[in-house]
Chains A and B, each alone.
Chain A
Amino acid sequence: MTVKALYDYEFPSADRAEVFGDDQLVYVHWRGNPLFCSAACFRVPKNMPFAEFVTSMLHGWAASDPDFDPASVTDWRLFDEQLSGGQDKSLADLGIGHKALLSFAA
């Protein structure tokens, strides 16, 4: 179904990928940790290596929980699938696109 309107209803999406240039938005959910109400949202370069993303972005946020141990981060998933590929690869190379949802356990 489309929007009923008196004119051609055609508008761009507010947060489409091109708006963010070489960056993109990525969401990260810490499974099973109810101290955080929801997943977090990050703006990151598409070419950032995954390992760098984890240390430079994720660790600071996850440390909101004083029990967070960076060494315990495991079982990464991209949406519902196991994340496969090396951590030295970039987000783009791992198939992590704009507004992708990652999750981990710790």
Chain B
Amino acid sequence: MSVPTKKAASKPARKLPLKERYALLTRDLDWEPGYVDREQLFPHTRYEGIKIHDWDGWQDPFRLTVDAYYKYQVEKDKRLYAVLDGFAQSQGHLSLSDASYLNAIKLFIQGVTPLEYAAHRHFAYLARHLEGPAPRFAALCQSVDELRHCQTQIHTISNYNKYYGGFHSWSKMHDRVWYLSVPKSLFDDAMTAGPFEFLISISFSFEYLLTNLLFVPFMSGASFNGDMPTMSFGFSAQSDESRHMTLGLEAIKFLLEQDEGNVPIIQDWIDKWFWRAYRMSALVAGMMDYMLPKPVMSWREAFELYFEEQMLGGLFPDLEYYGIQPPRHVNDAIAEKDHLSHQVYKILHNFSFAAAFTTKTPDEAHMAWLAEQYPDSFDQVYRPVWEKHRKIEADGGRVFFQGLPQLCQVCQVPMAFTEPGNSAQISFRRSTFRDETFHTCSDGCQWIFEREPEKYVQAWLPVHQIYRGNCGGPTVPDVLAWYGIQEGDNGEYTGSPDQLAWAAWHSDGDDKAV
């Protein structure tokens, strides 16, 4: 009797159950080091004071393997790129709500997309340096996700670069321009911390606590204002984001369960990183309330829903079991929710001559919406100032801040925030370190500064750098040239190249421009 060897060889291999495949492709690939000890192999997991007794205690809720991961991502990319092609071929940009909507997307590609790339880099570092195979693999997947997000955002938004200003030099701008030092310095702060602090800063505070406040407004804004590509990108990233949120939550629970001594360290990081990420989200607040021609919801409403209800009401009661309290200074954030967006847009409006987007004074209809959303602050505090702007503009003027602002040493936002409970008084905080004065914008930023002054004294503050002669020269045109800002990217929206082109493309009987 002959043995049918050939037939047996062509028989497909037994398909393993998912759990077994996951085990073989992740944990089973790990090994105990033979010729170096663990401390040498993983030199960064001890100095922060976090104690891990059992790295296998890390549960990966997704049980994702490399082959499955790539299969999903290819499918999502195909769908996204089909939308991008259709939108580009049908001149979809002409069906946006208004050209001024794109100011929000300029802020996105300049401020957020480079953070995706930074996250990609640092999760790759975690994929090397965390000691357990499960968290290393989760970090590897997130690293690839972040790189993909960076690429798909560039591809999604590049179509607008053919027709509108402000989209051309975002990567250079991210490294140089004053308002972009806010997100850049936040990520630099996280990337120069240890691996565990990075997990709490980016995976937990950024991706879990505040992600809905940071990303949903851009994606819903896209949907409301006819920006199909950005909306599709948002959908395409959604399943990744939910995986990242789960990683953030898994990370904090794992660290808290490993050792009681970890709890105060984690609490400290939550206190710091909530405020850091919250201060950066101020830019999103200004965008939501002032830059969307068709607004989605107000900052106040989003803050109440996504933060107060979902996080303070939902997450923190769960974390109390581990001894974790809501973030220090959270009450200051709540106290200023009626004011934050107005104060931030004021900064952008004052300084858009030096920005790669344009701003405008809200018109009557927009102010009516703001008054409705902010019944306790808009008419009382902010309307009179905008009305003064409108009067000046009616006389042919336009107020820009003819100088440079004072910046907060920690968040790097111009010092425009007011005292909690007193919107007439700018909040100035002052610390002295090694006989030098340092200014911060709030109790939160001052607390962060005084916790690690040696770190924050090194801050690359754009205003001081200009005065040190490091930004192309002493005049505004010198600095703008060094920033990569071109004539027409910046300033007032009304009368800008974007606005004029938009008006020409939409004028009756004029089809030559399209």
Q: Are A1 and B451 in contact (CB under 8 A)?
A: yes
Instruction: Provide a sorted-by-A list of 17 A–B residue pairs whose CB atoms are within 8 angstroms.
Output: A2-B454, A6-B43, A9-B455, A11-B458, A13-B434, A19-B468, A29-B426, A37-B405, A38-B415, A39-B406, A39-B415, A40-B404, A42-B404, A64-B400, A64-B401, A65-B399, A99-B439
Report the separation of the CA atoms of residues A43 and B406 in the bound assembly, to the nearest whole angstrom.
12
B interface bracket (residues with beta carbon within 8 Å of A):
35 or more
Within 8 Å by CB of A11, from B385, B439, B454, B463, lies B454
- Binary interface profile of A, 38-71, with partner B (CB < 8 Å = 1, else 0)? 1111110000000000000000110111100000
Closest-CB distance, A75 to chain B (whole angstroms): 15
A100-B437 contact given A11-B457, A36-B350, CB 8 Å threshold = yes
Closest-CB distance, A9 to chain B (whole angstroms): 6
Q: Are A61 and B452 in contact (CB under 8 A)?
A: no
Does B313 lie at the interface of the complex (its beta carbon under 8 Å from any beta carbon of A)? Answer: no
Q: Which residues of A contact B460 (CB under 8 A)?
A: 14
Q: Which residues of A contact B464 (CB under 8 A)?
A: 14-15, 25, 41
B459, closest chain A residue (CB): A14
Closest-CB distance, A85 to chain B (whole angstroms): 20
Q: Are B343 and A37 in contact (CB under 8 A)?
A: yes
B437, closest chain A residue (CB): A99
Does B194 lie at the interface of the complex (its beta carbon under 8 Å from any beta carbon of A)? Answer: yes
Closest-CB distance, B407 to chain A (whole angstroms): 8
Q: Which residues of A contact B424 (CB under 8 A)?
A: 32
Q: Are A37 and B47 in contact (CB under 8 A)?
A: no
- Binary interface profile of B, 15-45, with partner A (CB < 8 Å = 1, else 0)? 0000000000000000000000000000110
Does B61 lie at the interface of the complex (its beta carbon under 8 Å from any beta carbon of A)? Answer: no
Within 8 Å by CB of B399, from A4, A35, A42, A99, lies A35
A38-B347 contact given A15-B468, A27-B439, A99-B436, CB 8 Å threshold = yes
Within 8 Å by CB of A36, from B43, B401, B455, B463, lies B401
A38-B399 contact given A3-B452, A4-B47, CB 8 Å threshold = no
Q: Are B414 and A37 in contact (CB under 8 A)?
A: yes
Report the separation of the CA atoms of residues A25 and B350 in the bound assembly, to the nearest whole angstrom.
21
Q: Which residues of A contact B437 (CB under 8 A)?
A: 97-100
A5, closest chain B residue (CB): B47
Q: Are B467 and A39 in contact (CB under 8 A)?
A: no
Q: Which residues of B contact A73 (CB under 8 A)?
A: none
B265, closest chain A residue (CB): A4
Q: Which residues of A contact B406 (CB under 8 A)?
A: 27, 29, 38-41, 101
Report the separation of the CA atoms of residues A32 and B437 in the bound assembly, to the nearest whole angstrom.
24
Do most interface residues of chain A lie in helix, strand or loop, or is the interface mixed? loop
Does B416 lie at the interface of the complex (its beta carbon under 8 Å from any beta carbon of A)? Answer: yes
Q: Are A37 and B428 in contact (CB under 8 A)?
A: no
List B394-427 residues whose CB lies under 8 Å from chain A.
Answer: 395, 397, 399-407, 414-416, 424, 426
Q: Are A41 and B463 in contact (CB under 8 A)?
A: yes
Q: Are B426 and A43 in contact (CB under 8 A)?
A: no
Instruction: Pick from B349, B404, B452 the residue with the most CB of A within 10 Å.
Output: B404
Does B49 lie at the interface of the complex (its beta carbon under 8 Å from any beta carbon of A)? Answer: yes
Does A10 lie at the interface of the complex (its beta carbon under 8 Å from any beta carbon of B)? Answer: yes
Report the separation of the CA atoms of residues A3 and B415 in the bound assembly, to the nearest whole angstrom.
25
Further 20 A-B residue pairs, CB within 8 A, beyond A37-B350, A79-B430: A3-B452, A3-B455, A4-B49, A4-B194, A9-B455, A12-B457, A14-B460, A14-B464, A16-B436, A20-B468, A25-B464, A35-B385, A37-B346, A38-B347, A39-B405, A40-B404, A40-B406, A64-B400, A64-B401, A100-B437
Q: Which residues of B contact A6 (CB under 8 A)?
A: 43-44, 47
Q: Are B404 and A41 in contact (CB under 8 A)?
A: yes
Report the separation of the CA atoms of residues A98 and B385 in the bound assembly, to the nearest whole angstrom.
32
Report the separation of the CA atoms of residues A32 and B426 in the bound assembly, to the nearest whole angstrom.
9
List B304-361 residues whose CB lies under 8 Å from chain A.
Answer: 343, 346-347, 349-351
Report the separation of the CA atoms of residues A14 and B194 in the bound assembly, to the nearest whole angstrom.
22
B46, closest chain A residue (CB): A6
Q: Are B415 and A40 in contact (CB under 8 A)?
A: no
Report the separation of the CA atoms of residues A43 and B403 in the bound assembly, to the nearest whole angstrom.
11
Report the separation of the CA atoms of residues A42 and B54 in the bound assembly, to the nearest whole angstrom.
55
Within 8 Å by CB of B403, from A2, A15, A40, A65, lies A40
Report the separation of the CA atoms of residues A71 and B399 in the bound assembly, to the nearest whole angstrom.
21
Report the separation of the CA atoms of residues A16 and B432 in the bound assembly, to the nearest whole angstrom.
12
Q: Which residues of A contact B48 (CB under 8 A)?
A: 4
Instruction: Give the top 10 A-B pairs by smallest Cβ distance, nearest first.
Output: A13-B457, A61-B403, A43-B467, A39-B406, A38-B414, A37-B416, A40-B403, A99-B437, A37-B347, A37-B346
Closest-CB distance, B392 to chain A (whole angstroms): 6
Q: Are B458 and A13 in contact (CB under 8 A)?
A: yes
A9-B439 contact given A39-B415, A40-B401, A64-B402, CB 8 Å threshold = no
Does B461 lie at the interface of the complex (its beta carbon under 8 Å from any beta carbon of A)? Answer: yes
Does B388 lie at the interface of the complex (its beta carbon under 8 Å from any beta carbon of A)? Answer: yes
Closest-CB distance, B286 to chain A (whole angstroms): 11
Q: Which residues of B contact A10 (CB under 8 A)?
A: 454
